[in-house]
Amino acid sequence: MRFIGTIVRLQVQESSLKVGSKPRRYDPAPIRSVPAISLSSSGVVGLTENGEIIVDVHHHDHPASKNRGGENGISLGFTTHYLAMRQRFGRHLSNGIAGENILVEVDQPFQAEDLTCGVVVEGADGKRLDLRSVIVASPCVEFARYALLFPDGARPDAAVTEALRYLDQGMRGFYATYEGEPAVVEAGARVFLA
């Protein structure tokens, strides 16, 4: 295993970030930062400082679940990717705005082939949690339009297509699965390549 960074932000999506009727728009308001999350094979649950539990919209048990057979129950991103996105699109793309559950502070970008064996997160109790089956979280048109500050009523054009290409291949983030016993992860946890 190789250490790659530490978790600097944990968050959940209380509801979908794509709102309205077509053309829908991207609204990051449902993203909620939390000090800890609980991982299970069903997905992510946010744990607040006051003991509140927030089920992520990609969790199998969320009432409006966007879970696709378990492949997208957990999402992760990297700070270097946000730096690159800000350089291309602007400062409005703050860390975590794409909605990933786990944001890792790293000193290099990562692509899907870098993560083929998965990542390992040290849980709150020191236990190592294997996040496997890492796949690219393909960007949606709504997020690409948000990145471009594209007008809500305008029809997508070549700029949106190019933004989608740029945000793909892991730039926007990744999905992973976890098959162990439910476990808590806190900000500051260390992350390794498996």
Mean pLDDT, rounded, for 40-49: 97
The SS3 of residue 3 is strand
Token code pair at residue 158: 């070549």
Q: Where are the domains of the chain?
A: 2-193
**How far is residue 75's CA from residue 7's CA, in Å, rounded to a whole number?**
13
Q: Which residue has the tokens 């959940």?
A: 12
- Residue 126 is predicted with a pLDDT of 82
**73-129 pLDDT tens trace:** 999 999 999 999 999 999 999 999 999 999 999 999 999 999 999 999 998 788 899
pLDDT for residue 20 is more than 80: yes
**Residue 161 host element (H or E):** helix 158-167
- Residue 23 is predicted with a pLDDT of 76
- Residue 150 is predicted with a pLDDT of 94
Question: Strand 128-136 vs strand 174-177: parallel, antiparallel, or unpaired?
Answer: antiparallel
Q: Which residue has the tokens 């927030």?
A: 54
pLDDT, the chain, mean:
95
- Residue 24 is predicted with a pLDDT of 84
Helix segments in 22-157, DSSP class H: 79-89, 141-148
Token code pair at residue 69: 């057979």
Question: Which CATH superfamily groups domain 2-193?
Answer: PK beta-barrel domain-like (2.40.33.20)
